[in-house]
Amino acid sequence: MSEPDPRLDVVHPSGHVMFRSCRGGYLHSVVLSEVVADVDAERLAQAVLRTADVSHLKAVMEIRQEILDAGFSPSAELPTPADLARAEAALDDHELGGKQL
């Protein structure tokens, strides 16, 4: 496994969920604070999924840029910067427990 890249770290707006990814979008680790033990399971799952999605997409954007820099066109199946922007907006709008913790 690769080492985590701090540029790919993403923290949920609550500050209680963090994802670390490696080059290529591989998950390295997840950090949850004790506060999340009191959060509704569905809200916590959404926080985890949204935070992970942004971290993964940030890593994929690096690969996409490398493909472009090499003079090639990325596959249409590869996420785009617009996909990352949508994921970031969805994360920014997410709350845990009905409020930002």
7-53 pLDDT, tens digit per residue, is 999 999 999 999 998 888 888 899 999 989 888 899 999 999 999 99
> Rounded to two decimals, what is the model's pTM?
0.86
Angstrom distance (rounded) from CA 51 to CA 5: 15
What gap in Å lies between CA 8 and CA 100, rounded to an integer?
Answer: 22
Longest Cα separation, the chain: 49
51, 55, 56, 61 alpha-carbon torsion, rounded to 10°: 140
Domain ranges of the chain: 6-92
Q: How confident is the model at residue 101 (pLDDT cuts 50, 70, 90)?
A: very low
Residue whose C-alpha is closest to residue 32's, from 50, 46, 12 = 12
Q: Which of 24, 31, 26, 39 is nearest to 10 (CA)?
A: 31
Amino acid of residue 11 = V
